[in-house]
Chains A and B, each alone.
Chain A
Amino acid sequence: MDYQFPELPYAFNALEPHIDAMTMEIHYTKHHKTYFDKFVAAIKDTDSNGKSLEEIFTQVSKLPMAVRNHGGGLYNHSLFWESMAPNAGGEPAGQLAQAINSQYGSFGDFQAKFNDAAANRFGSGWAWLCVKADKSLCVCSSANQDNPLMDTSDCPATPILGLDVWEHAYYLKFQNRRPDYISAFWNVVNWKVIESRYEALVK
């Protein structure tokens, strides 16, 4: 299988004013593209060349560090772009909404937990909403470009929503105010996509 650099599913300015066009452009064409290029270069000379990223992550501890860093960067950003959309936000519906309510009490309580995970990740990393093997939900965060699919993860699960909290994701617009960026993110979350990811995992 050839690895593909995914299309951004909307224009650079589509998430304005919550995520600015310049950040989107640099984030996608520079950061994400570099992860893609470096992942392809790093995986080329391994036995895992051609395997899916999900499969690679299950044995990432045995592969070169560059595969973990850049493969993670490739996968995480792809998931992130698809998790957002213009004119989105609001609250989830259906089975996911029920699961969030029954596990966290309310959507607001879930948001507070996710906000904490994102704000308290020290340094670079990601915050996640995941589905565990027992089909329950969990909120966690990971360092750098790690994610919960990796065999190195201390919260092994399948992510259905990810938020990039590397400074490059928000510094041009929000500088040191990471919590303001996290608040803005809720206005562009594409819950329809997150709901269908959830439903595919629990059916």
Chain B
Amino acid sequence: MKKLVLFFLVLISIQFSLKAQQEPFHKFAPLPYAYDALEPYIDKMTMEIHYDKHHRAYYTNFIAAIKGTELENTPMETIFANMSSYAPAVRNTGGGYWNHEMFWNCMKPNGGGVPAGKLGDAIKSTFGSFDEFKKQFAEAGVKRFGSGWVWLTVNEAGKLIINSTANQDNPLMNTETLRGVPVLCLDVWEHAYYLKYQNKRGDYINAFWNVVNWDFVQSGYDKAIARKQ
């Protein structure tokens, strides 16, 4: 009887450890909608290559870059807060992994419109109007030279700022001068828009407003502000 119990205990523990292996701490999340869900603003082929090739490669290379280190079980926010301590490969691939996941969540089919709630108020009081905010955000996107991202960020003082970062950097990284908690992001690497918009990055940014998931952005803002209070 004792042997049988021991046998089952071993079996259960093997299953647990297998499960732990199957579900790493850092997960590659499914795309929250179909590849063609953001048509005609973001085309299906771009979404598919962007998610299944670029994003997946960042994830796979990030997991390879942190293999065997304590970062395998460290939250991304903590890694970014100490970014300067780690190798460039961790920064580039970890940023690419995290930024894209946030980007997918910032969009949805039948999105767009205007933000409401506390975020809507904060945008008006910070930028004057929603249109003025959009204008400044678009300018930051067009002016980012080379590859990078544009962000709407709750800075360390709890104020909204628009900033842009190079390559796969983001405002959570301690390598940035303008730091804070990002609540909205836009990928302005050429791979995000080139198949449909080619050199016309401005047209891509205009199209982006039609798919913004303001519910997600508002909830991110509410959480960021709550952490400040």
User: Does the CB pair A34–B190 fall under 8 Å?
Assistant: no
Nearest A residue to B166, CB-CB: A123
Nearest A residue to B52, CB-CB: A176
User: Does the CB pair B199–A144 fall under 8 Å?
Assistant: no
User: Does the CB pair B198–A175 fall under 8 Å?
Assistant: no
Contact among B54, B57, B190 with A166 in the assembled complex (CB-CB below 8 Å) = B190
Nearest A residue to B198, CB-CB: A26
In the complex, how many residues of chain A place their beta carbon closer than 8 angstroms to a beta carbon of chain B? 20
Chain A residue contacts of B49, Cβ below 8 A: 175-176
User: Does the CB pair B199–A30 fall under 8 Å?
Assistant: yes
Size class of the contact patch on chain B: 20 to 34
Q: CA A125 – CA B166 in complex, angstroms? A: 12
Q: CA A167 – CA B195 in complex, angstroms? A: 11
Contact among A30, A123, A172 with B167 in the assembled complex (CB-CB below 8 Å) = A123
**Given A122-B92, A168-B190, A175-B49: A144 in contact with B198 (beta carbons within 8 A):** no
**Given A122-B167, A176-B57: A171 in contact with B147 (beta carbons within 8 A):** no
Interface string of B168-196 (1 = CB under 8 A from A): 10000000000000000000011100110
**Given A30-B199, A176-B54: A167 in contact with B92 (beta carbons within 8 A):** no
Q: Is A124 an interface residue when CB atoms closer than 8 A count as contact?
A: yes
User: Does the CB pair B198–A30 fall under 8 Å?
Assistant: yes
Nearest A residue to B148, CB-CB: A123
Q: Is B24 an interface residue when CB atoms closer than 8 A count as contact?
A: no
Chain A residue contacts of B88, Cβ below 8 A: 122
Q: How far is the CB of A29 from chain B (nearest CB, A)?
A: 9
Q: Is A143 an interface residue when CB atoms closer than 8 A count as contact?
A: yes
User: Does the CB pair A171–B199 fall under 8 Å?
Assistant: no
Q: Which of B139-169 contact A (CB under 8 A)?
A: 145-148, 166-168
Q: Which of A19-34 contact B (CB under 8 A)?
A: 26, 30-31, 34
Q: CA A166 – CA B194 in complex, angstroms? A: 11
User: Does the CB pair A171–B92 fall under 8 Å?
Assistant: no
Q: Is B118 an interface residue when CB atoms closer than 8 A count as contact?
A: no
Nearest B residue to A22, CB-CB: B198
Q: Is B53 an interface residue when CB atoms closer than 8 A count as contact?
A: yes
Q: Is A69 an interface residue when CB atoms closer than 8 A count as contact?
A: yes
Binding site for A on B (CB under 8 A): 49, 53-54, 57, 88, 92, 145-148, 166-168, 189-191, 194-195, 198-199
Q: List 20 A-B contacts (CB under 8 A).
A: A30-B199, A34-B199, A122-B88, A122-B92, A122-B168, A123-B146, A123-B166, A124-B146, A124-B147, A144-B145, A144-B146, A167-B147, A167-B189, A168-B199, A171-B190, A171-B191, A172-B194, A175-B195, A176-B49, A176-B57
